[in-house]
Amino acid sequence: MTTVILLDGGMGQELIKRAKAPITPLWSAQVMQDHPDLVEDLHLEFIEAGAKVITLNTYTATPGRLARDADAASLNPIHESAIKAAHNAVNRSGKQDIRVAGCLPPLMASYLSAEAPDYLTSLDHYQSLVDLQQHDVDLFICETMSNIAETKAAATAAKSTAKETWVSFVLNERTKKLPSGEQIERAVFELEALGVDAILINCCSPETINQALPTLTKLHDNIGAYANAFENTDALTAGGTVECLNERQDILPKSYAEQSLQWINQGAKIIGGCCAIGPEHIKTLHDRLIAEGIEIKSTI
């Protein structure tokens, strides 16, 4: 029987819609401070939709981003609130097989590889995030990684805990390389010595993932994907807001489920959603997986 791990969807866009507050460069982290109840409720909706792994809502809560866009002293309180929201949602669900993933995101900006700090600075910052999260998560996801050095720093910090560690890359929609221009083959090779447990692609269009997965299947036994629903991300700048990003109108729950089934057929063992993929998408995907006789689980 085919088995897959079903992740949650994107938190930031959904929380922005629900909070109905001005958008800030901190994206979902601001909502984490102002409306933690919304975060908890959204985590629960994803669990009830069928997700087996939910990720801490700390994507923009990094030392560098907070120092640039808000207050560096808010790092610990945001993480404490995010951890509480995730675990409250799991407890409210009454389900025993839900795992909480720690979030190790790009340190300064999504998609913009040149904004990443040097390796040693990145390692120090990621270690601070790991220290805040490690006792309250089941695994780590290093996600939306755009260059090899930052990726290695994130994975090294995560692996220092001996917890399961997944690495997920974002790809340039035109070149199908990392935003840094580096080949994904080289990136995966550089990670081999660290023993990461899964390699994924995220925050790209479904079409880019379709094209990239055949390469990924040759590089690692455990692969996965979770797409976004943006038209493109070219307009986003460091410290900017998602107001400049338009959502596609053709990535509906049913069509997203069809795309996800293609990824499974290509070898994906982990699927879910990224920006603008909400609970309805995950619910429809869950139901389609069940209809296809695919077993949904929470561990590799």
Band the pLDDT of 235: cuts 50, 70, 90. very low
CA 253: distance to chain centroid? 19
State the burial class of residue 192 (Cβ atoms within 10 Å of its Cβ: 0-12, 13-18, 19+).
exposed
CA 130: distance to chain centroid? 16
Q: How far apart are CA 118 and CA 64, in angstroms?
A: 12
Determine the 3-state secondary structure of 147 from DSSP: coil
* Alpha-carbon torsion (147, 115, 277, 9), positive or negative: positive
Q: How far apart are CA 288 and CA 258, in angstroms?
A: 8
CA 248: distance to chain centroid? 19
Band the pLDDT of 240: cuts 50, 70, 90. very low
Q: What letter would DSSP give residue 157? A: H
Element (H, E) at 271: strand 270-273
Average pLDDT over residues 208-233: 91
Kindly report the number of other CB atoms within 10 A of residue 281's CB atom.
26
- Per residue in 65-124, pLDDT tens? 999 988 899 999 999 999 999 999 999 999 999 999 999 999 999 888 999 999 999 999
Which parts of the chain fold into alpha helices (H)? 12-19, 28-34, 36-49, 63-69, 75-93, 119-133, 148-159, 184-191, 206-217, 253-265, 279-291
Q: Which amino acid is at 167?
A: V
241 Cβ neighbours under 8 A, 6+ residues apart: 23, 24, 25, 27
Average pLDDT over residues 117-138: 99
Tokens of 70: 């808000």
pLDDT at 206 exceeding the cut of 90:
yes
What's the pLDDT at 158? 99
Q: 3-297 sits in which CATH class?
A: alpha beta
Tell me the pTM: 0.95
For the chain, what is the mean pLDDT?
93
Element (H, E) at 3: strand 3-6
Tokens of 172: 């340039």
Tokens of 115: 């904004």
Find the range with the poorest average confidence among 23-27, 110-114, 145-149: 23-27
